[in-house]
A and B are shown apart, each in its own frame.
Chain A
Amino acid sequence: MSATSARPSHAAQPSGSAFILKKALISAAVALVLFSLMIGVRTEAGPQGGLIYWTRFGDLAAMVGTVFGGSIIIELLRQWWGPVDKEHIVPKPVQAAMSFAGRWLAPALLVFAFLVPVIFYDQRYILDLSILVLTYVMLGWGLNVVVGLAGLLDLGYVAFYAVGAYSYALLATNFGLSFWVCLPLAGILAAFWGVLLGFPVLRLRGDYLAIVTLAFGEIIRLVIINWQSLTGGPNGVSGIPRPTLFGIPLDNSDDGLAARLGIDFSPTHRIVFLFYLILAMALLTNWVTIRLRRLPIGRAWEALREDEVACRALGINVTTTKLTAFATGAMFGGFAGAFFATRQGFISPESFTFQESALVLAIVVLGGMGSQLGVALAALTMIGGFELFRGFDQYRMLVFGIAMVLLMIWRPRGLIGHRAPTVFLERSQAISSDLVKEGHG
């Protein structure tokens, strides 16, 4: 494809009720054909092993009707909104309010995060959910180094998560090493795998890079499933030790934390401890990323994202730059994996599917790629949204897929479309992320 294809000319869009009706009728007809067999007929393996089927024309009619109505609504919305590429200028007061909110949102969120276990001490469900959100915040920040800063599209990030989780699980169950010894080891091992993946893919760009990282993630998962003697195969590893507060266990034994402090034991102590542990780990990730961005290596990542050829011409070592990005991102993934293993107490290959990679990538993209605050907000939105569908497990990924497509159409640059540049002349000015390139590999 030529990179400089012309924009299609926007001919005057016809409007009026006849046009809308015609469009809706066509959509409904298409939907009728698409869904006729897939929804109108339901098949299932019968009791004798043969296939049986029954018809669901009511559902089919409902779906076609929904498409018809939805098409009318979308068309009306589109005419009300005007052409998509029209500039919608934000008025000055709103801009000022937004910049104020932007300045105070991060500290407010941070304070709130620290207070969550205090406010919701009795609500185990909310604590568990917050831990999950923070795990994804950490994963998102880790992947952000690779995708957002260095511009390398990585579809196999879950591989490093898996390496971290299995490193801790196997080291702890086989050699009895404690969490605090295993945590750096898990990070180092994951970083090692990151470099191992990074070396061969150095020359690849864009889509090819994405597919190779995807294949790499699948290979790791398949090896975990099939190497039964080491990993337990599909049965996973169970009985993974819980973390300790630097050697003090958080249980109701005599030398447990509760007994030493002379307070009554409660299982919530462990949850609160896990919460602060993942919060600290996530903040460490954030802090390291922010610091790295100001070092030459971080600048080199961003330069690499913008233009690899120019980077080379300026004498930046592309090899080490890419490898450090992969290794750093992988290391944080490994840390998060070790935390995941100790929190669950049980891991199996099912937790490390491609869907997980796609979810983390969606968080980074939704967060505006490169914006730390955006990633955190996106993780909150995504995982919170997932929780809304808790009762409808099978619809969850369907809705996730639809949301991903709609998001790409509506705001391909993520929710936070502006960012502060790392380097600036004289004064810092927020730039639109439309001006930033991503994913050229």
Chain B
Amino acid sequence: MDYFAQQLINGLVLGSIYGLIAIGYTMVYGIVGMINFAHGDIFMIGGFIAMISFLVLVSLGFTAIPLILLIVLLVSMVITALYGWTIERIAYRPLRHSFRLAPMLSAIGMSFVLTNFSQVSQGARVKPVPPIITGGYTLHEGSEGFAVQLSNIQIVVVLATIVLLAVFTWLVSRTRLGRDMRACEQDQTMASLLGVDVDRTISMTFVIGAALAAVAGMMYLLYYGLVDFFMGFVAGIKAFTAAVLGGIGSLPGAMLGGLAIGLIETFWSAYFSVEYKDVAAFSILIVVLIFMPTGLLGRPEVEKV
């Protein structure tokens, strides 16, 4: 039972990270109707920028951990958001009225560019970071010496996710930008006729998605203590699985799907085999798409002739 509770905690934390990435997929798919294949690599770039800025801040003599974390968070969100904006501008916007495969292939190319850019600029080796947030609580002392632990970093990850989700939900449901985004999702032509700047709204979607991915990258860095240039690929596919599982286009669905994928992966590793955990995640993607293509909270897609 204790083992189960511990895995539940680990799974929820991992799921929060996936959920943050999945929101980026689901928003872009909802508005532009394309899979932003490079989004996993944006997450990786976010992790790298967090790692570098952390390193620079520490060597500049900053010692207050909360201040460092805040600055790192802001820096990585801003720079990664700019990456998202630039990618949309260069690789997707010229193709918006091209044939259907073009943005997908361009996105795959962009994903290669980002992966290999960070490999070339930062080297291929894994970058380890010492634990920044330490300590934690023992929730329950088991009879066989197995204790259920809740570390501070896990609390930080879950709290940051909840806060971001709250801000993000407010942004989508209450602000002008959110209304524009929902309008573009329904009908771009109509939205532009009514004075919505479609190009700007789509750009902002990429910016917000990238900023959330940057937070996920930073959380990943804090939680696992490492980044490497290839981590975006698998994390990206899993987050996409989460978005599909939750119903693509649905924001609460993305978070729900992220949590579900995190839990499934953790429990699979704990009770079956660690080697096949990625196979499990990919199989879920296939099974969900085949039997439940609208996901948990998605709307069915009407086929038009």
Contact = CB atoms under 8 A, between A and B. Distances in A.
Given A206-B100, A408-B98, A37 B53 contact: yes
B135 interface: no
Interface stretch (B124-132, B163-171, B250-258): B124-132
B130 A50 contact: yes
A43 interface: yes
B130 A1 contact: no
Interface stretch (B2-10, B61-69, B88-96, B143-151): B88-96
Instruction: Count chain A CB atoms within 10 A of each CB in B75, B97, B124 and give the residue with the most.
Output: B97
Contacts, number: 211
A370 to B, nearest CB: 12
A13 interface: no
B138 interface: no
Interface residues of A, number: 72
Contacts of A2: 187-189
B274 to A, nearest CB: 10
Contact of A404 (B33, B106, B122): B106
Contact of B104 (A1, A210, A362): A210
Contacts of A397: 112, 115-116
Contacts of B126: 45
B101 A36 contact: no
A383 interface: no
A218 interface: yes
Contacts of A34: 79, 82-83, 86
A153 interface: yes
Nearest to B110: A405
B116 to A, nearest CB: 4
A41 interface: yes
Interface residues of B, number: 82
B121 interface: yes
Given A43-B127, A219-B283, A401-B109, A409 B95 contact: yes
Contacts of A45: 125-128
16 contacts: A8-B97, A30-B82, A38-B122, A43-B51, A44-B123, A45-B125, A50-B130, A53-B52, A218-B278, A219-B282, A354-B233, A398-B113, A405-B110, A408-B95, A408-B105, A412-B101
Interface of B: 31-35, 45, 48-49, 51-53, 55-56, 59, 75, 78-79, 82-83, 86, 90-91, 94-106, 108-130, 187-189, 192, 199, 233, 237, 240-241, 244, 275-276, 278-279, 282-283, 285-286, 289-290, 293, 303-305
